[in-house]
A and B are shown apart, each in its own frame.
Chain A
Amino acid sequence: MMRVPERTGRSAPVAFEDVSKRFGAVSAVANLTLAVENGELLVLLGPSGCGKTTSLRMLAGLERITSGQIRIGDRVVNELPPRSRDIAMVFQSYALYAHLSVFENLAYPLRVRKMKKAEIERRVKEVAAVVQIGELLGRKPREISGGQRQRVALGRAIIRRPSVFLMDEPLSNLDAKLRLHTRGELKRFQRDLATTTIYVTHDQAEAMTLADRVAIMNHGMLQQVGPPKEVYRSPANMFVAGFLGSPPMNFLRLELGREEGGLSLTGLGVRMALDNTWNGRLGAAAARAVVLGFRPEDVVVAARPVPGAIEGEVYLVEDLGNDRYVDVRVGGQLVVTRLAAGLEPSIGDRLWLTPDANRAHLFDPLTEDHLA
């Protein structure tokens, strides 16, 4: 467990203002506008190639900005080299200086700034204690384990007490157990340091646990930004809805019909009535094709027929120990739902699924935007 470090007072907010990055004809980041609040931990989340790492690197000064500007504090930093931006970065591969000892790795940023020898030594020892690598100071990076290297990388980042921390998937090279453990520590750590942190990852579980706010990107564009709960519960489009949550949200392509009794969804052998709560959310929508989205944990499963429910046949039962999921075949598609205790279906059984109306979403099949 890492000890609590001292508070610093120099954190600064970060702002991306219509930032774009193009490599030739390829657009890696398109018109990113994002404000990171002072002291918050913002996670840039998305699949590989979505532009999150490029955005981070532009913030760091390791990539040139094609258009737009980036501010740290109130300064525009577009033309500043990395060293003038008062930032620190933890790389995915840790990027430790292989030919230097752990001590020298930690001391590097301080030596560059020509700090006095005694002061350097004090700070290194202090940081080493915080990240708990005090006894490794004399070793070289290749002589220590992956987890220890990660902590050296972290130590090197915090030793300067910068205004902003940048982290590029710092946990992805750790094994699963260590990753979980370090995740928690990082969160508390960042809170205690109270420094603005931009954290890049493709792991949505990591993002949900760590973030004060999550910014989801895809194909270079920002999809949605907000606190994890909000983005989880109210996704702005199908991509966000499908990216967060494991197992992912189920999507069924259905027809929305307006009838006497109210709204209904039909298709795939399903006939679901929507209650009045939906009326308000949909407004005066006419009959149209929609995509219904609901999460595996937001479904009530019954072994007996339920009116208005989605009927399907069990395809596979997955028992993960603490949770059970069943894959149900509905009209050619597979729907995953969580299984409550008490039900023991076998392959081939018929089940009736009722998605929780309050938690379900409707999306436009074409634009993939959220409808209700």
Chain B
Amino acid sequence: MEVEVIDPRRAARAPWWERNLAWLLVTPTAVMFVLFGFIPSITAVLYAFSRVRLTRDGITRELTGLQNFRRAFEEPLVADAAWITVKWVAAVTVAEVVLGFLLALLLTQNIRWRGFLTTLLIVPIIMPPVSVAVAWFFMYEPNFGVFNYLLGLIGIDPVLWLSDVDIALYAMMAVDIWQATPFTFLLLYAGLLALPHDPYEAASIDGASPWRIFRTVTLPLLGPVLMVVVLLRVIDAARIFDKIYIMTRGGPGTSAYTVTMKIYIEGFRQLDFGYASALSFLFQIVLVVLATLYVKRVLVDYSAPRD
């Protein structure tokens, strides 16, 4: 018995929304980008070339040309901030990548409880920077913090970790290194695990020493992953703000004024939006270059779908 099913779809073309579905799917994202990315960016550029004052109902804005930029190049604190940021990025990235790499190398060896240890190692990465900063803040406490206590045990005077102008920046670097090393570790570990076995077997049959194998096999093969990790960390490190703000508000003095901190202070303490925008504009340019490099690398094996 054949039951004829009347199919009203038989002669229908695809409706317009289906034919243009790709565009429709991407539109909400595009709208968000325009609203929260594009428009504020243009406005920020406008501010950078203006003098902006906050009033009760809104703002006043008058174009001042390159004045903000000139000031940026003249003010010593800006150059200081740039230098401090460079120091921070360099030190922190090197430490994190090296330590992370060592940890990754270690854990690819035959270690017991490897999975468990790895899971534990990931914890610092997802912790709120606030909590991390707070925990270390306490450890750095001059009177009852654990570091000074341990120093006291071996007869060293208490160190003013976060109050000493020469030390504070480095003390805070340690905090970031603590939190981000597991991150580099994770990525490098995954990278090491994904390496092919053959070159290693061939090398060991050929009788190469472990150091030689490392130099001529591991490092070159891991090159791309290393580059991604370094780039990523550099970009993230340049954006540092939370931890420094929480622990010392950029102090003591101005010893921990990174670029981001400087922008924040100019923008929301001094309320000089124009100047802050100019500073962030300059900062942005540097980051664009880095970001482009990174994304290019990461999208290397992305290919658009076929028709």
Q: What residues make up the interface of A, taking CB atoms closer than 8 Å to B?
A: 6, 8-9, 23, 63-64, 75, 79-81, 83-84, 86, 113, 115, 119, 160-161
On whether the beta carbons of A113 and B5 are closer than 8 Å, the reply is: yes
Asked whether any CB of chain A lies closer than 8 Å to the CB of B14, the reply is yes
Q: Can you give 15 contacting A-B residue pairs, CB < 8 Å?
A: A6-B2, A8-B2, A9-B2, A23-B307, A81-B13, A83-B9, A84-B9, A84-B10, A84-B13, A86-B7, A113-B7, A113-B9, A119-B3, A160-B5, A161-B2
On whether the beta carbons of A80 and B13 are closer than 8 Å, the reply is: yes
On whether the beta carbons of A63 and B5 are closer than 8 Å, the reply is: no
* B206 → A minimal CB distance (Å): 39
Asked whether any CB of chain A lies closer than 8 Å to the CB of B18, the reply is yes
**Chain B neighbourhood of A113, CB < 8 A:** 5, 7, 9
Which residue of chain B is the closest to A160 with respect to CB atoms?
Answer: B5
* A53 → B minimal CB distance (Å): 12
**Chain A neighbourhood of B194, CB < 8 A:** none
Which residue of chain B is the closest to A21 with respect to CB atoms?
Answer: B307
* B51 → A minimal CB distance (Å): 53
With the chains together, A63 CA to B306 CA distance in Å? Answer: 9
> Which listed residue (A23, A79, A86) contacts B13, Cβ 8 A?
A79
With the chains together, A84 CA to B18 CA distance in Å? Answer: 14
* A60 → B minimal CB distance (Å): 14
The prevalent SS among residues of A at the interface is loop
Among A6, A81, A161, residue most surrounded by chain B Cβ atoms (within 10 Å): A81
With the chains together, A115 CA to B4 CA distance in Å? Answer: 11
Asked whether any CB of chain A lies closer than 8 Å to the CB of B12, the reply is yes
**Chain B neighbourhood of A6, CB < 8 A:** 2
With the chains together, A113 CA to B5 CA distance in Å? Answer: 9
Asked whether any CB of chain A lies closer than 8 Å to the CB of B11, the reply is yes
On whether the beta carbons of A23 and B306 are closer than 8 Å, the reply is: yes
With the chains together, A6 CA to B2 CA distance in Å? Answer: 9
**Chain A neighbourhood of B11, CB < 8 A:** 75, 80, 84
**Chain B neighbourhood of A161, CB < 8 A:** 2
**Chain A neighbourhood of B13, CB < 8 A:** 79-81, 84
With the chains together, A338 CA to B7 CA distance in Å? Answer: 56
**Chain A neighbourhood of B306, CB < 8 A:** 23
**Chain B neighbourhood of A81, CB < 8 A:** 13-14, 18
**Chain B neighbourhood of A119, CB < 8 A:** 3
**Chain B neighbourhood of A160, CB < 8 A:** 5
Q: Could you say which interface size class chain B belongs to?
A: 10 to 19
What sequence of 0s and 1s flags, for each residue 293-307 of chain B, a beta carbon within 8 Å of any chain A beta carbon?
Answer: 000000000000011
Which residues from 1 to 56 on chain B have a C-beta closer than 8 Å to any C-beta of chain A? Answer: 2-3, 5, 7, 9-14, 18
On whether the beta carbons of A84 and B307 are closer than 8 Å, the reply is: no
With the chains together, A115 CA to B306 CA distance in Å? Answer: 34
**Chain B neighbourhood of A86, CB < 8 A:** 7, 10
Which residue of chain A is the closest to B8 with respect to CB atoms?
Answer: A113
**Chain A neighbourhood of B3, CB < 8 A:** 119
**Chain B neighbourhood of A79, CB < 8 A:** 13-14
With the chains together, A80 CA to B3 CA distance in Å? Answer: 25
Which residues from 57 to 95 on chain B have a C-beta closer than 8 Å to any C-beta of chain A? Answer: none
**Chain A neighbourhood of B2, CB < 8 A:** 6, 8-9, 161
On whether the beta carbons of A84 and B12 are closer than 8 Å, the reply is: yes
**Chain B neighbourhood of A64, CB < 8 A:** 307
* B17 → A minimal CB distance (Å): 12
Which residue of chain A is the closest to B7 with respect to CB atoms?
Answer: A113
With the chains together, A86 CA to B6 CA distance in Å? Answer: 12
**Chain B neighbourhood of A83, CB < 8 A:** 9
With the chains together, A81 CA to B7 CA distance in Å? Answer: 14
With the chains together, A84 CA to B9 CA distance in Å? Answer: 6
* A123 → B minimal CB distance (Å): 8
* B27 → A minimal CB distance (Å): 21
Which residue of chain A is the closest to B12 with respect to CB atoms?
Answer: A84
The 7 closest A-B pairs by CB, nearest first: A81-B14, A84-B12, A84-B9, A79-B13, A83-B9, A84-B10, A64-B307
Which residue of chain A is the closest to B3 with respect to CB atoms?
Answer: A119
* B303 → A minimal CB distance (Å): 13
On whether the beta carbons of A115 and B18 are closer than 8 Å, the reply is: no
On whether the beta carbons of A63 and B14 are closer than 8 Å, the reply is: no
Given A79-B14, A81-B18, list of 17 further CB < 8 A pairs? Answer: A6-B2, A9-B2, A23-B306, A75-B11, A80-B11, A80-B12, A80-B14, A81-B13, A84-B10, A84-B11, A84-B13, A84-B14, A113-B9, A115-B5, A119-B3, A160-B5, A161-B2
* B6 → A minimal CB distance (Å): 9
**Chain A neighbourhood of B14, CB < 8 A:** 79-81, 84
With the chains together, A86 CA to B10 CA distance in Å? Answer: 7
With the chains together, A86 CA to B4 CA distance in Å? Answer: 13
Which residue of chain B is the closest to A122 with respect to CB atoms?
Answer: B3
**Chain B neighbourhood of A8, CB < 8 A:** 2
Which residue of chain A is the closest to B6 with respect to CB atoms?
Answer: A113
Which residue of chain B is the closest to A119 with respect to CB atoms?
Answer: B3
